[in-house]
Amino acid sequence: MLDLLRELVLLESPSLEKAPADRGCGFLADQWLLRGGLVHLLKQEQRGNHLRVIWSPNGSRQRQLLVLGHYDTVYPTGTLSRMPFRISSGKAYGPGVFDMKAGIVQALFAFESLQQLKIPITKNLVFLWTSDEEIGSQSSRKIIEAEARRSDAVFVLEPSLGSRGLVKTSRKGVGQAELIVRGRPAHAGLEPEKGINAIHELSAQIARIEKWNNLRRGVTINADIVSGGTRANVIAEQAHATLDLRAWRTSDMHALEKRLHSLKPIHKGAKLEITGGFDRPPMERKHSAALFARAKSIAKQIGVNLGEAAAGGGSDGNFTAALGIPTLDGLGAVGDGAHSPNEHIVTKTMPHRAALLAALLATV
């Protein structure tokens, strides 16, 4: 498993660089082909190609299970030179090792073990490896949703949480909105009465919006970026804020979007434009609970006490759960430090996690 992980990490596959991403995708395609999977390369113009692998032993069936993940990473080409792949004290380090290349390797070994042990499979298995999860999944979302609709369950190989490898049974919905304010410029000294200050309007709106935060319910709205004005002595003509939106519940997501889009100007004459909203709907626990119970009981047979966690960040599991398809996320590697120089996995956990996935695929 570590040899394969090394090869995969050495093939840097940043979301924003098509040629290297395609090489990583091609390597994965070869690995599945070698093991008898039916491989489809879903070619993309801008982003790396997506990879779909179908395995339907003894002829195709009606129903399928979906194993979902992404092979892109947040690290640009060349990151390996300062963050090399290395194994030390039972941990493997390197760009994308935890998020989520070790998860892909575990899935490959789960697949291989089902074949080698001739475990009877009652549903088609579909593995989907996408290239743009780290940048919002614009090119893969429709493909993910189409596969999910045909599936009885979705297993997401995103990293687990903490040293105990907690799987993720709920995730916040995540969005981004732009709030653009247009005022009217005027000389700040000669005729201030003629101006409408867009920065003052934006500040007032942000003060209003800030009160919508409800940490107990997990509803958050945060101005992450603000800009505005043209120059000193001039009453600001325009101002702009980028807002981060999050919620645990679908109902809260809708309420927050509605509130945001019905904002009215506070200063007379100011104009507001609001765009954007939630990109990923919440993954609510009700869509994960049954699969988690199954996973927990399987893990017990492997000698692992499997726990669960809620995550404030989104993944492609948000899309599949929002369709009402049972989804279990965070089934991937055990480790820490995603998106940081300390990114690593705990090597001895890889076989357990592969076994857990294999058993789920054989029994759900």
Q: Which residues bind Zn ion (CB under 5 A)?
A: 99-100, 158
Smallest distance, Zn ion to C-beta of residue 102, A = 11
Listing DSSP states for 49-109 in one string gives: PEEEEEE-TTS--S-EEEEEEE--BSPPTTGGGTS--EEETTEEESTTIIIIIHHHHHHHH
Smallest distance, Zn ion to C-beta of residue 358, A = 21
Specify the DSSP element, H or E, that contains 318.
helix 317-322
Smallest distance, Zn ion to C-beta of residue 53, A = 19
Tokens found for residue 232: 């000193």
**Whether 274 contacts 263, CB under 8 Å:** yes
CA–CA separation, 253 and 175 (whole Å): 9
CA–CA separation, 207 and 204 (whole Å): 5
Smallest distance, Zn ion to C-beta of residue 119, A = 28
Which stretches of 116-233 are assigned E, i.e. beta strand? 124-130, 151-156, 167-171, 173-182, 220-228
* DSSP assignment letter at 76: P
Smallest distance, Zn ion to C-beta of residue 73, A = 8
The residue type found at 99 is D
* DSSP assignment letter at 61: -
Smallest distance, Zn ion to C-beta of residue 209, A = 29
Among residues 125, 6, 131, 110, the alpha carbon closest in space to that of 67 is found at 125
Q: Measured at CB, which residue is nearest to Zn ion? A: 99
Specify the DSSP element, H or E, that contains 15.
none
**Whether 18 contacts 77, CB under 8 Å:** no
Residue with tokens 């304010």: 181
Smallest distance, Zn ion to C-beta of residue 99, A = 4
CA–CA separation, 10 and 13 (whole Å): 9
For β-strands 238-247 and 173-182, DSSP reports them as antiparallel
Q: Which is nearer to Zn ion, 100 or 202 (CB)?
A: 100
Smallest distance, Zn ion to C-beta of residue 74, A = 9
Q: Which is nearer to Zn ion, 100 or 209 (CB)?
A: 100
Q: Which is nearer to Zn ion, 156 or 179 (CB)?
A: 156
* DSSP assignment letter at 202: H
